[in-house]
Structure 1
Amino acid sequence: MEWYQRTIEETQSVTKTSELGLSSEERQKRIVSQGENSLSKGQEDSELKKFLHHFNDLLIYVLIGAGILKGVTGDFIDMTIIFAVVLINSLIGYVQERKATNSLSSLSAMMGSQATILADGEKGIVEATSLVAGDVVLLNPGTIIPADLRLVEAYNLVVEEAILTGESTPVNKNTADITSSADLGDRLNMVYSGTLVNSGSGKGIVVETGDGTELGKISQHLKEVGSGETPLIKKMKQLNKQIFYILAALILFLVVFSLMFREFTGGELVSAMIALAVSAVPEGLPAVLSIILSVGVTRMAVKKAIIKKMPAVETLGSMSVICSDKTGTLTKNEMTVVSIVTKDQVVEIADEGFEHSAQEDRLAWHRLIETALYCNDTKINYRGGKREIIGNPTEGALLEFANQHPLDQEEHILYKIPFDSAYKYMATLVVIGKKKFIYLKGAPDIVLDMVSLQLEQEAYKTIDLAYWEEEISIQARKGQRMLAAAYKEVPFEMATISHEDLQQEMVMLGLYGIIDPPKKEAMEAIRICHDAGISVKMITGDHKDTAVAIAEQIGLTNYNQALIGSDIENLSDLELQGVVATHDVFARTTPEHKLRLVRAIQENGEIVGMTGDGVNDAPALKKADIGIAMGIKGTEVTKDAADMVLADDNFATIAAAVREGRRVYDNLKKTIYFSLPTAFAQGLLVVVSILLDKPLPLTSIQILWLNMVTTITLSFALGFEPIAKDAMTRKPRDPKENILNGYAVFRTTYVSLLLAALGFMINTYLGNQGASETVMQTTLLLTIVCGQVFYMINCREIHQFAITKSILANKILWLATGILVILQLAVMYVPFMNSILATTSIGWHHTSLALLAGVLVFLIVEGEKLIYRIWKKI
């Protein structure tokens, strides 16, 4: 049996306590046996282990092996350079991806630091960590509840539970028994660790502490979820495996071939295999990807999207489903009066005819403003341009409404009957000028039972109950919380009021329709997401009717088929997978429900983004492919669990981030199209040299120069290419799609062969001319660089013609090309560089050969792209 289903007497019996609390001796015994009221922490990897993790890659193993072999053969310079390359790549990965996982410590910080308890019948203040089951805790306004409590007393107790339930309005608590099953947000006789007492007072028995609390369950979920790999990381590992297997097969074949048909010494064979490994492995690719992702991170930061983990940039571009919390994400998280109902008319506050309507119903409207203003215990402050409500958010909405229509009159509140959940209304006695009035507001069903008249056409008439009940039903279906207002004039000598005074001659004024309204930007962002093929689902802890109403307003599709938490619990994992594909609204959900929903969507092969701001969202955020936290209203727990933080709490920022993510992926794809052929071309030079029994055309250091310096410099330019015109109108790519599709393999193969063939042709020509080995190597080096430069321009567009107007907009392209020209001139003409890379000065004749080869590469690739466009009709 759950704690909320137990009576107060049963709770006292099970926890072996009384209304006077535990004795000091018993508390000490239980502290020893039960342990501290704190959350257990998971084991975190050391910084060294995190750093070493970046060496765990097949291609890194190849380079490490090559470096070791270089050392064994006595070539320590090459060994040092190879190890330096490995170290640089790992450092880049470690520095760029490092993030502190402080989710659990943030959760612990949310538990109250101190608590007021009864021990031996006496009040005392103790550390929250010392609380044990059976302790009796006293609650007052502003108290952070330190453990899960079964209430035994509640006096107008209102608790803010949004961090756990996602419900936008504070909850009125009571001590009544609950016998049936209830969702977390409907357990009104319980209060939970980490939530906040908004107003009132109460007393409760500690029933769960530490990991046993609802907050503790979230902590356990966070530890169980772990960190998943992003689609990009998965694809890159897959690509690395493909390169590794091809390389391993080539090395095995060449070793067998050399032993059978060539007379290589052991040292020569090892040097040849090392040259092949170093040339075929695109060492510069990880660094290039990190740079491009880093550029995306910077761009997103400008757009108020703070990326905590670099691969998340690309994940945004592949996201196919966004699961969004409602409160504070799709809505303003500010209760607002959105409609006014009088007997004569219904006024939607957002309507342009608002002021005119107010004039038509002047007296009723005026009295409704007075009721909202004078029958109110809440205050509003503005700090830094932001609204801060001190008190009840619903009353804050009424006060905001009244302040927008200031009254020019002198008034003084003489007496007040405060709101109490026992009778569900509030009343005030107010003197205005030389008249006195009673103003009443409360639950519509209660107020309607108290009134006999209504204000209609500036006169008092008999109450029309059918009209008011119908309007309450209509507005409630829109997700609005309805409050009724009534008043009456009283004799001027009256000094106080009682409940009996409210039972006679009260006049019904109208209804306030209050809701946490959707953000206009969110509506537009959802439309953009739908155009981009991204499904948006609402997962909230709020009530079903409210969720459905907001979903309809913001433009979700399958909002009429909303499910609640109990529906989810009754579905198996397999059934839930089918349901999430056809439903877009899930209400009254717990953290466990949100986690199951994200998992079910992922099982359908979708890339899932999850947004949220409360602690209840944290496990689902961590499980999602991309967790998105609110930066302003989000808790620290949520921010720590997320991959991205929205600095402006705006759902529209997600759409902008998706746009940037798609641009980043397109540019990453262009980079891979560019990097692989240049690496494989160098590998082909080695392979063909061995097969033809010719000297290796380039040294290992020269190959590393090409892979680490020239490739990085040119790839950097591709990272700044503008977004494609169709980026936000095409569907998200299939997550199962290989990063190297059939066309990419074809392009990589023929460009590799082309670059290698041109290199051999120039090498053969120079050999026939009697050129020295150093001149031949320097010219070949320049030939490959020229081929890379022109092929980089080809890769600006995968299928379309590369030279467009946007080529002038990408200033980084020209800067990168200029830097590479300077570096290559240094390789050829600076003595220091000549010594390191074994190069020499060459004349214009050799340079023109290299330039001609580059131009041929550009023309051939553009010709192939033209044929492809004609064939595919694009």
Structure 2
Amino acid sequence: MSFHIPEHLKGLTDEEVQHSHQKFGFNQLKQIEKSSWLKLLLNILREPMLILLIIIAVIYLAVGNYGEALFMLAAIILVSGISFYQDNRSKKALEELEKLNEPLSRVIRNCKIVEIPTHEIAVGDLCITDEGRMINADGKIVHSNDFSVNESSLTGESFSVFKDNSSEDRQVYNGTLTVSGLAVFQVEHIGKETKLGKIGESILSIKEEKSPLQNQIEQFLKYMAIIGFAVFILVCAVNYYHTRNIVDSLLNGLTLAMSILPEEIPVAFTTFMALGAWKLMREGIIIKKSSIVETLGSATVICTDKTGTITENSMHLKAIYDFKTDQVFDEHHFSEKSIAELIQYAMWSSEPVPFDPMEKSLHQVYGETIKDDLRSVFKMFHEYPLGGKPPMMTHLFENEKGERIIAAKGAPEAIIKVCQLTGEEQIKIKTEIETFGKQGYRILGVAKSNFQGNDFPQRQQDIPFEFLGMVVFYDPPKKGINEVFKKFDAAGIKIKVITGDNAQTTKSIALQAEITGISNPVNGDEISHLSEEELMKVVDEKVLFTRMFPEAKLRVINALKRNNEVVVMLGDGVNDGPALKAAHIGVAMGEKGTEIAKAAAAVILTNDDLGKLVTAVAAGRRIYSNIKKAVQYIISIHIPIILTVSLPLFLGWAFPQIFSPVHVIFLELVMGPTCSIVYENEPMEKNAMTQKPRPISETFLTWRELMISIVQGLMITAGVLFIYQLTYRNGGDEDTTRTMVFTTLIFANILLSFANRSFYYTVFESFRNKNNLLIYITLATLIVLMVMLYFDPVSMFFKLTSLNVEQLLTATAAAVISVMWFEIYKLVKRSFNLNEKRI
């Protein structure tokens, strides 16, 4: 919105801003604590795995095994380094998101209008607010133009209040919403000193609710920790019974406890979500809370506004229908004298400083076609804001001579109701409305009044009006929008159009956008009269919802949620706020969206491109799928480690302590990066956007998925223990047996990381999805394994021995059989069309 600064409004200088910040601080409820690298490191050192490593290192030092103690120290540094790297990446990603999520505020400084981050507002600043913007500090109005504000966040009253610099109450408050016009206010209180801030301080102590996925993962980790502790006690007891050696018993117990704890899962979850949100931010999709990324992937219904989301929101004045002459004038004939009055009243019924694209267009046409521009002569002295069902608005102007202009515009149905028209005249107008509506045009009725006196009725609908005609706008669908809706349809996501426009216009635009199932639209009045049960059925069946007002939109969203749908709501206007907040995921337009819409939404599309939502949904599905792959991989590979450590002891085999802590920690060092780095980088599978969304009630891992992971783990265990027995029966000593078992397990781990890239496509098909990190970590693992086998000092430390070609091939064959059976399972499953995988 253009705004010319009055000469007396100069604003603070840079020096005054700095002094104000020093004295009063910044505009935030509390100082955000920056996480230092030392704090991050201390948090990492509290992790159970690190605590176990430290205990083992201390035991080795106590008994004089300095080599093992040094290795544990190196392991502590390496594990901490990996965790620190991942945590730091997550922290930086979240900090970048935080910066983008902060709204900008307009202030006058050094006699110029500038946009600043809201937390930089200083006491004494001159802030500018206009229609649709949130007020971000407490202050006193010093200049205004047709300014009204909704203070329901403080007072609970939903109606708007008109204020100016001469009114008795000229205070504005943080957290309230500008409904109409414009105001400049001088900031008096910021941050926790504002009226809302004093209330908000108590809110800071409330913890953010965790997502269902977070709760499920935490519950899983708790079970594993309990099992780990129980097995630790059991192993210690059994080992001590056999050996009467407390140190060996403790080390064995701690080794098994390490193998049970899946500490990679929480790291993976945090990393996947934070980096997913950060990657989307680079695509122009701002995610306010990283955990919302996962929810995006499960969206089942997208409720979209029409104007500005499906359409361009350009609102070009296309035609004018003059009621007196019963003629339609196209854009080449707007200068005709017979429609001058209609153009004038259409402009007068708009805001003096237009915000809406339609009103901007009306002001422009008025300026181009009317010779005597009276906008500087007549001043608005009374206004009825947009209201009613369907809505209309009325402006009252007066000049110095006391001459008045009373102009109204709104939905044609609303304007017809307030004008004295015969049945025949109404039919004639409705015929024109239908004709324009079929072409996808947006229509507004225009009326004038000769109301005398100052005793204005409370409702604008009670003023007698004279119908002048209609102004007709065309807002074309965005380019490529039909392809966007086709992609949503292919992904099994339903589309609902929820708009304040009429049925004919909405239906026409929906046809052009190639939205299916658009017959028999339902309007807001019908919605308000339906019972909850009836509404749940209607929202399931219908696609187009027209003449919708905020309460009706909210009812539709809530009904869809009761139908167990995961609801995405797209909007850009003030009236979309409640629905955006109520939906599982509110999505606001970044360019043309109002501040209240952005504040209510969880996601902001910076360039208003609905196609970006397809990207966001795809990213959500990719991340959710990859987290599942990582967790299933962790479960599968932990099972053989646990059983290889415990079964030889429990079954009384020849070499009961086949693995020591150094072997287990090496395996953990291989698994950690595979889980949290490699799988995070895994590309989306090609069928991800052709699957139906997963049900909201579905647990993170279904019993079938969990059983697959357990069977994978047991098969690898069978292969590893077969190699144990084969080597021992062929005369292998403890070091040779350990080496064969360890090598087989490493090979199986590598193959498993490739096999679990997809639970649908084979390993060879998955190679088409490039993931260079997987190749690099695999090569690094193989190189380190070769060093462990063939470099004597390292071999001696790990109590391993070199293997000949036959032994390496035997270990490889066992690993291939124990893992690659899963590839046959995938093929059989697909051939019998038994795939029920959900993304």
Q: Give yes or no for TM over 0.5.
A: yes
1:630/1:648 contact within 8 Å kept: yes
1:786 to partner: Cα distance: 1.4
Of residues 72, 76, 80 in structure 1, which corresponds to 2:73? 80
- Amino acid paired to 1:757: A
Of residues 704, 710, 727 in structure 2, which corresponds to 1:749? 710
Of residues 242, 247, 260 in structure 2, which corresponds to 1:280? 260
CA distances 1:127-186 after superposition (whole Å, capped 9, x unpaired): 99699xxxxx999999997989999x999x434879999xxxxxxxxxxxxxxx985469
Secondary structure at the aligned position of 2:765 is classed as: coil
User: Which position in structure 1 is the counterpart of 2:420?
Assistant: none
CA gap of 1:38–1:700, structure 2 versus 1, over 3 A, is: closer
1:103/1:638 contact within 8 Å kept: no
Of residues 559, 562, 574 in structure 1, which corresponds to 2:524? 562
- Amino acid paired to 2:73: T
Task: Check if 1:658 corresponds to 2:620.
Answer: no
Q: How does 1:174-213 map to 2 (within 5 A)?
A: 183-184=158-159, 193=173
CA gap of 1:577–1:265, structure 2 versus 1, over 3 A, is: farther
Q: How does 1:431-442 map to 2 (within 5 A)?
A: none
CA gap of 1:109–1:793, structure 2 versus 1, over 3 A, is: closer
Q: Distance in 1 between the 2:150 and 2:319 partners?
A: 24
Of residues 90, 94, 102 in structure 2, which corresponds to 1:96? 90
1:571 to partner: Cα distance: 10
Deviating more after overlay: 209-218 vs 689-698: 209-218
Task: Check if 1:736 corresponds to 2:697.
Answer: yes
User: Which position in structure 1 is the counterpart of 2:58?
Assistant: 71
CA gap of 1:424–1:275, structure 2 versus 1, over 3 A, is: closer
Of residues 207, 213, 216 in structure 2, which corresponds to 1:235? 216
CA distances 1:650-701 after superposition (whole Å, capped 9, x unpaired): 2331122102221232233233332321121111101112113333222323
1:243/1:281 contact within 8 Å kept: yes
Structure showing greater relative contact order (alpha-carbon pairs closer than 8 Å, 6 or more residues apart) = 1
Q: Distance in 2 between the 1:643 and 1:741 partners?
A: 28
CA distances 1:381-428 after superposition (whole Å, capped 9, x unpaired): xxxxxxxx977744422366799xx99xxx965766647476959999
1:163/1:614 contact within 8 Å kept: no
- Amino acid paired to 1:237: E
User: Which position in structure 1 is the counterpart of 2:430?
Assistant: 470
- Amino acid paired to 1:513: V
CA gap of 1:873–1:564, structure 2 versus 1, over 3 A, is: closer
CA gap of 1:223–1:718, structure 2 versus 1, over 3 A, is: closer
User: Which position in structure 2 is the counterpart of 1:315?
Assistant: 295
Secondary structure at the aligned position of 2:146 is classed as: strand
1:332/1:516 contact within 8 Å kept: yes
1:103/1:640 contact within 8 Å kept: no
Deviating more after overlay: 319-328 vs 610-619: 610-619
1:163/1:616 contact within 8 Å kept: no
User: Which position in structure 1 is the counterpart of 2:817?
Assistant: 856
Of residues 341, 348, 360 in structure 2, which corresponds to 1:396? 360
1:628 to partner: Cα distance: 4.2
Q: How does 1:306-705 map to 2 (within 5 A)?
A: 306-307=286-287, 309-322=289-302, 328-329=308-309, 332-337=312-317, 339-341=319-321, 393-398=357-362, 413=372, 418=378, 420=380, 443=408, 469-470=429-430, 474=434, 480=442, 482=444, 511-514=470-473, 519=478, 525-526=484-485, 528-535=487-494, 544=500, 553-554=509-510, 560=522, 562=524, 588-589=549-550, 607-609=566-568, 626=585, 628-633=587-592, 644-693=603-652, 694-705=655-666
1:163/1:613 contact within 8 Å kept: no
- Amino acid paired to 2:649: I
Q: Distance in 2 between the 1:611 and 1:221 partners?
A: 31
CA gap of 1:363–1:552, structure 2 versus 1, over 3 A, is: closer
Q: Distance in 2 between the 1:648 and 1:560 partners?
A: 31
Q: How does 1:132-281 map to 2 (within 5 A)?
A: 157-159=145-147, 183-184=158-159, 193=173, 227-258=208-239, 262-281=242-261
2:443/2:470 contact within 8 Å kept: no
- Amino acid paired to 2:228: L
Task: Check if 1:790 corresponds to 2:751.
Answer: yes
User: Which position in structure 1 is the counterpart of 2:742?
Assistant: 781
2:632/2:706 contact within 8 Å kept: no
- Amino acid paired to 2:361: A
1:158/1:197 contact within 8 Å kept: no
Q: Distance in 2 between the 1:246 and 1:810 partners?
A: 35
Unaligned runs of 5+ in 2: 1-23, 62-67, 111-120, 383-393, 400-404, 413-423, 449-465
Deviating more after overlay: 191-200 vs 801-810: 191-200
1:807 to partner: Cα distance: 3.2
1:717/1:813 contact within 8 Å kept: yes
CA gap of 1:89–1:105, structure 2 versus 1, over 3 A, is: closer
Of residues 29, 35, 42 in structure 2, which corresponds to 1:41? 29
2:272/2:627 contact within 8 Å kept: yes
Q: Distance in 1 between the 2:132 and 2:262 partners?
A: 59
2:128/2:185 contact within 8 Å kept: yes
1:861 to partner: Cα distance: 2.1
Q: Distance in 1 between the 2:56 and 2:803 partners?
A: 33
- Amino acid paired to 1:313: V
CA distances 1:695-754 after superposition (whole Å, capped 9, x unpaired): 322232322222222563487555555544543343321233233322223222222222
1:258/1:264 contact within 8 Å kept: yes
User: Which position in structure 1 is the counterpart of 2:118?
Assistant: none
- The share of aligned pairs that are identical, in percent, is 24
1:372/1:398 contact within 8 Å kept: no
The TM-score, its normalising length taken from structure 2, stands at 0.66
1:394/1:514 contact within 8 Å kept: yes
User: Which position in structure 2 is the counterpart of 1:807?
Assistant: 768
Q: Distance in 1 between the 2:681 and 2:338 partners?
A: 58
1:484/1:510 contact within 8 Å kept: yes
2:305/2:571 contact within 8 Å kept: yes
CA distances 1:491-523 after superposition (whole Å, capped 9, x unpaired): xxxxxxxxxxxxxxxx99963224877646666
CA distances 1:104-124 after superposition (whole Å, capped 9, x unpaired): 99689679999xxxxxxxxxx
Secondary structure at the aligned position of 1:728 is classed as: helix
Secondary structure at the aligned position of 1:512 is classed as: strand
1:789 to partner: Cα distance: 2.5
1:324/1:536 contact within 8 Å kept: yes
CA gap of 1:466–1:743, structure 2 versus 1, over 3 A, is: closer
Unaligned runs of 5+ in 1: 1-35, 115-126, 132-136, 166-180, 348-356, 379-388, 429-439, 448-463, 487-506
Secondary structure at the aligned position of 1:470 is classed as: helix
1:340/1:513 contact within 8 Å kept: yes
The TM-score, its normalising length taken from structure 1, stands at 0.64
Secondary structure at the aligned position of 1:753 is classed as: helix
Q: Distance in 1 between the 2:72 and 2:287 partners?
A: 36
1:533/1:732 contact within 8 Å kept: yes
Q: Distance in 2 between the 1:255 and 1:678 partners?
A: 23
CA gap of 1:79–1:42, structure 2 versus 1, over 3 A, is: same
User: Which position in structure 2 is the counterpart of 1:5?
Assistant: none
2:29/2:197 contact within 8 Å kept: no
How much is the aligned-residue C-alpha RMSD, in angstroms?
Answer: 6.2
Secondary structure at the aligned position of 2:243 is classed as: coil
1:96 to partner: Cα distance: 0.3
